[in-house]
């Protein structure tokens, strides 16, 4: 995205410690101005509101119709561990998918912001640095050669695969002049292609691996367990904190590496840290629910159309909008094809596309 | 880059799902003096969805592709010279054990195997010099068919890949081999042995069932419907498809439908739940889903689980060789599950 000198100056001012002054008293200002604290807080509150609504919907709405009172009663029996009617089981089965939706949605959206910021490529998403392919390749290797099942200890395998892949991509992209956005994207694409061929080769020659991989590679919130959420939670939290803390660095990097360096940042170190945080987040999400597309790509754009380019707000608000989108997509998947279910990953694409188009149009209108 | 492998992966389970049967009855055996009468039955033309096969005279070198055709050919008196290698539920010869047993009993040489699936080893088939290729229950493409039919008359599926009724398949193969009467006897024989089993097990009568597979997409079950051989075999044993399950329409072009586990309530009144698994890991991840575990049939243990792939496969087929082989093994499993219904 083109950035004018004035916006750079404003951003530097804002970085200097007065974020409130930039936009709070100028609601009609162009969007490339930094977001003020008040407006940012309002947007964040709105995002949290949507997220709460999505959580309630995810617990209450599905193929099996229940009244809010029944849902509440079922949640209570679940907490107290008394009784177990079919309705209780239905509601209980929605708890892990809601929790996983929160984790995976936030992870993918935040990772998407990180990827787009680090590569300065608006089309970047968690797939672009080879993260998904790396996680999947590690899973397949574990299944084929180390007797790994599809349910247990995913994250311990997926995660090193993802992180290692990001490092390899980064090393490949870093020539003498450092990793440029284009080189990063190229290296990521090449490595992903190589890994996907490897996955295909292993999975197709080993039918047993193939069935396990296929089950895992279906991006879906359903049919997973709380254990899968618990397993990825620590990694997700570390990644999330690291990512949210990277807002300032991303803002500085957006000015170009020299400007960033002049602000006292080590661009290479910031990039590697950022990429690792993103890898951690994507790998957590992918290990827990399989690859889910579009959330990482679309959510940052949707949010950016409201917040403008300040990465601190962008990260924070994406972390609440991402899960909201994912949960609503999951609910839609339960409803539209009854008695079958549409896979969450399929719905995110269907739901994300119009939202993305809307966001892009909005962006152009105010640019 | 995510989509391509997933699409490829979906193809194989589709193959696994589409099981159906073929065959003639081992017990009945082929008409002993069939070879003279058989010659009167040629030439014969068999139409299929992919084109027509013109068989000029009684075939001797038969090659089979897909499910159940080797069974029926053997049962009708022709041991194939080559069969598509079986990779699921196979024995050490790359074939189904009941087919191997029948061929060994007869003292014939075991057929050569060749790689099949989506990438059929055409060169291997050429080397077998076939004069008939049987693939009525298979997934061969138009392209495959055109090549194969040049080589030897090829019998493909009547309408859709992996989709033919078990008795139609037997009749079709009987026609291609010039043994229509033996084929009819085989179909009748299967019906008779199933009826005999039903008579021996009055407790099966009227028990409702559903046949599902949960190893595909997480949170979903594949539901086999009437017309699928594995459902047909159970109705022939006297059981009934549960009414709520019966009302779920099949997906386009298949004998199955998808059921999200949120709708598991449709399985509440099922007496016996039938299912199969690729392995224990698949069983574990299917059954640990709470909505699966709470299905009343699962809770009380009236479940028939085929973890033995050979039993799973044989109970998905209705062929003259598979039915007698599997009944001995399958009946006790059903007995045990039915005993837990009340």
pLDDT in tens, B83-131: 999 988 899 999 999 999 999 999 999 999 999 888 899 999 999 999 9
The predicted pLDDT at position A29 comes to: 39
What residues have CB less than 8 Å from A152, skipping those under 6 apart?
none
The predicted pLDDT at position B173 comes to: 96
| Closest C-alpha among A43, A30, A107 to residue A302 | A43
Read off φ and ψ for residue B244, nearest 5 degrees: -65, -30
B263–A338: do the CB atoms touch at under 8 Å? Answer: yes
Distance CA B264, CA A340 (A): 10
The predicted pLDDT at position B237 comes to: 94
The predicted pLDDT at position B15 comes to: 41
What residues have CB less than 8 Å from B98, skipping those under 6 apart?
B71, B314, B321, B322, B324, B325, B326
Contact status of B260 with chain A (Cβ, < 8 Å): yes
Query: What is the overall mean pLDDT for chain B?
Result: 86
Contact status of B13 with chain A (Cβ, < 8 Å): yes
Residues of B with CB below 8 A from A62's CB? Answer: 262
Dihedral angle, C-alpha A163, A168, A170, A173, nearest 10 °: -160
What is the DSSP-derived secondary structure letter of residue A85?
-
Residues of B with CB below 8 A from A86's CB? Answer: 265, 268, 294
B9–A214: do the CB atoms touch at under 8 Å? Answer: yes
- List beta partners, residue B272: B209
The predicted pLDDT at position A327 comes to: 95
Q: What's the length of chain A?
A: 367
- Give pLDDT < 50 ranges for chain A: 1-32, 367
The predicted pLDDT at position A170 comes to: 82
Residues of A with CB below 8 A from B266's CB? Answer: 339
| CB distance A55 to A98 below 8 Å | yes
Contact status of B266 with chain A (Cβ, < 8 Å): yes
The predicted pLDDT at position A26 comes to: 38
Read off φ and ψ for residue B83, nearest 5 degrees: -130, 150
Average pLDDT (B304-320) is: 90
Count helices and strands (H / E) in chain B: 15, 13
pLDDT at residue B13 is higher than 60: no
Contact status of B43 with chain A (Cβ, < 8 Å): no
B258–A339: do the CB atoms touch at under 8 Å? Answer: yes
Alpha-helix runs per DSSP H in chain A: 5-15, 19-23, 37-60, 68-80, 86-119, 131-145, 154-173, 181-205, 207-216, 226-244, 247-253, 257-262, 267-289, 295-307, 311-336, 344-366
How far does B88 lie from chain A, in Å, by closest CA?
Answer: 9
Distance CA B212, CA B236 (A): 18
Residues of B with CB below 8 A from A192's CB? Answer: 1
The predicted pLDDT at position A83 comes to: 64
pLDDT at residue B200 is higher than 90: yes
Residues of A with CB below 8 A from B262's CB? Answer: 62-64, 90, 93, 222, 334, 341
Read off φ and ψ for residue B59, nearest 5 degrees: -70, 145
The predicted pLDDT at position A22 comes to: 39
| Closest C-alpha among B137, B135, B174, B169 to residue B152 | B135
Q: Which residue has the higher pLDDT, B204 or A139?
A: B204
User: What SS3 state is found at A106?
Assistant: helix
Distance CA B11, CA A40 (A): 48
The predicted pLDDT at position B38 comes to: 57
Tokens 């068919």 sit on residue = B145
pLDDT at residue B27 is higher than 70: no
Residues of A with CB below 8 A from B257's CB? Answer: 339-340
pLDDT at residue B232 is higher than 60: yes
pTM, full prediction: 0.80
| CB distance A116 to A147 below 8 Å | no
The predicted pLDDT at position A169 comes to: 87
A212–B281: do the CB atoms touch at under 8 Å? Answer: yes
The predicted pLDDT at position A23 comes to: 37
How far does B289 lie from chain A, in Å, by closest CA?
Answer: 6
Q: How many CB pairs under 8 A join A and B?
A: 133
What residue in A sits closest to B285 (Cα-Cα)? A151
Tell me: the pLDDT tens digits for B30-78?
A: 444 445 555 677 899 999 999 999 999 999 999 999 999 999 999 999 9
């Amino acid at each position: 995205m083109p950035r004018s000198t004035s916006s750079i100056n404003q951003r530097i001012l804002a970085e200097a410690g007065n974020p409130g002054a930039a936009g709070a008293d100028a609601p009609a200002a162009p969007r490339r101005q930094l977001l003020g604290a008040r407006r940012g807080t309002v947007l964040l509150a709105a995002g949290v509101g949507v997220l709460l609504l999505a959580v309630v919907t995810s617990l209450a709405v599905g193929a099996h119709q229940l009244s809010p009172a029944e849902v509440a009663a079922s949640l209570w029996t679940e907490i107290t561990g008394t009784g177990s009617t079919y309705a209780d089981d239905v509601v209980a089965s929605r708890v892990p998918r809601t929790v996983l939706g929160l984790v995976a949605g936030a992870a993918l959206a935040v990772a998407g912001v990180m990827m787009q910021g680090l590569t300065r490529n608006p089309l970047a998403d968690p797939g672009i640095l080879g993260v998904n392919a790396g996680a999947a390749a590690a899973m397949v290797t574990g299944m084929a050669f180390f007797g790994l099942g599809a349910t247990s200890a995913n994250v311990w395998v997926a995660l090193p695969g993802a992180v290692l892949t990001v490092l390899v991509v980064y090393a490949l992209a870093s020539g003498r002049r450092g990793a440029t956005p284009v080189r990063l994207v190229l290296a990521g694409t090449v490595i992903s292609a190589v890994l996907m061929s490897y996955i295909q080769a292993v999975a197709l020659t080993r039918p047993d691996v193939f069935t396990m991989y296929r089950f895992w590679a279906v991006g879906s919130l359903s049919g997973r367990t709380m254990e899968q959420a618990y397993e990825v939670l620590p990694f997700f939290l570390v990644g999330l904190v690291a990512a949210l803390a990277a807002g300032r660095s991303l803002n500085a990097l957006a000015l170009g590496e020299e400007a960033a360096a002049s602000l006292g940042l080590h661009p290479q170190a910031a990039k590697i840290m950022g990429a690792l945080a993103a890898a951690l987040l994507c790998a957590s999400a992918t290990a827990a629910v399989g690859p889910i597309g579009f959330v990482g790509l679309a959510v940052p754009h949707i949010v950016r159309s409201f917040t403008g380019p300040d990465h601190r707000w962008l990260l924070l608000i994406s972390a609440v909008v991402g899960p909201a989108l994912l949960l609503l997509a999951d609910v839609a998947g339960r409803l539209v094809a009854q008695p079958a279910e549409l896979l969450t990953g399929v719905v995110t694409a269907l739901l994300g596309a119009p939202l993305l188009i809307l966001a892009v149009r909005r962006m152009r209108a105010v640019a | 880059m995510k989509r391509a492998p997933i699409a490829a992966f979906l193809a194989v389970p589709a193959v696994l799902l589409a099981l159906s049967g073929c065959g003639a009855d081992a017990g009945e055996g082929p008409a002993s003096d069939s070879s003279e009468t058989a010659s009167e039955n040629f030439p014969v033309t068999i139409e299929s969805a992919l084109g027509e096969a013109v068989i000029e005279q009684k075939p001797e070198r038969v090659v089979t592709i897909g499910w159940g055709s080797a069974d029926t050919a053997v049962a009708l008196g022709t041991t194939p010279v080559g069969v598509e290698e079986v990779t699921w539920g196979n024995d050490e010869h790359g074939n189904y054990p009941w087919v191997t047993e029948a061929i060994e009993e007869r003292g014939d040489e075991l057929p050569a195997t060749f790689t099949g699936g989506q990438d059929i080893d055409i060169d291997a088939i050429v080397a077998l010099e076939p004069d008939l290729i049987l693939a009525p229950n298979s997934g061969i493409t138009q392209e495959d068919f055109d090549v194969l039919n040049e080589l030897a008359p090829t019998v493909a599926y009547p309408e859709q890949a992996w989709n033919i009724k078990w008795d139609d398949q037997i009749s079709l193969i009987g026609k291609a081999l010039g043994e229509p009467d033996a084929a009819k006897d085989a179909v009748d024989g299967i019906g008779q042995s199933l009826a005999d089993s039903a008579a021996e097990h009055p407790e099966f009568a009227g028990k409702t069932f559903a046949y599902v597979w949960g190893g595909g997409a997480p949170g979903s079950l594949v539901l086999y419907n009437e017309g699928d051989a594995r459902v047909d075999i159970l109705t022939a044993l006297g059981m009934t498809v549960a009414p709520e399950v019966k009302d779920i329409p099949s997906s386009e072009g298949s004998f199955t439908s998808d059921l999200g586990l949120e709708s598991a309530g449709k399985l509440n009144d099922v007496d016996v739940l039938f299912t199969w698994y690729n392995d224990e890991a698949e069983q574990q991840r299917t059954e640990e889903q709470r909505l699966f575990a709470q299905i009343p049939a699962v809770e009380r243990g009236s479940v028939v689980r085929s973890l033995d792939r050979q039993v799973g496969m044989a109970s998905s087929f209705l062929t003259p060789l598979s039915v007698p082989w599997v009944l001995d093994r399958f009946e006790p499993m059903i007995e045990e599950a039915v005993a837990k219904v009340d």
